[in-house]
Amino acid sequence: MLLLVELKKKLKKDKINYDVIIVENTPFNVLELRKLYPKTKIIYHIHNDYLNCETKKAMKILDACDEIIAISDFIKKRIQTIKPTNKISVVYNGIDIEKFCQEIPKDEIKKNKEKYQLTNKDIVFLYTGRIVPEKGVKELILAFCKILKDTNNFNLKLLIVR
């Protein structure tokens, strides 16, 4: 919140007219910026489930946006729990496929297998990302434990990287 207060002071002082303002992921900033710039186009780029029918002032936030860019169909559908709207488009996060097509040196593979106590017989399931409830890491662990119990295959490994 401190950042928004400082930003508002700077924006008021600078008195610049902007063509477009893009708000990243923080829905309440939309309302504050709309007050400061009532005629400026505001685009809300949303990465997380922060704007839905359960969000305080959800209708006001939605109405204050000129456009919304969601990173998934799930996020778009969650926003539309407030009310149906055509101002939402979906633009998926991109990845650099080349980074995943590089050959890893054998000595690096060996070093990592030793580090994580993995063998050539192991089948490794990898989770990488934030460890927060909405990502389902707990459910992943529970499901993995059930698979281990049901199959008795102790060559299955779960690696969680944050």
The predicted model scores a pTM of 0.68
**HEC-encoded secondary structure of the chain:** CHHHHHHHHHHHHHCCCCCEEEEECCHHHHHHHHHHCCCCEEEEEECCCCCCCCCCCHHHHHHHCCEEEECCHHHHHHHCCCCCCCCEEECCCCCCHHHHCCCCCHHHHHHHHHHCCCCCCCEEEEEECCCCHHHCHHHHHHHHHHHHHHHCCCCEEEEEEC
Q: What is the pLDDT of residues 20-78, one digit of tens each?
A: 999 999 999 999 999 989 999 999 999 999 999 999 999 999 999 999 999 999 999 99
What separation in angstroms does the CA of 81 have from each of 47, 66, 76? 17, 18, 9
**Residue 35, amino acid:** K
Q: What is the pLDDT of residues 93-119, one digit of tens each?
A: 888 888 888 888 999 999 999 999 999
CB count, 10 Å around CB of 41? 13
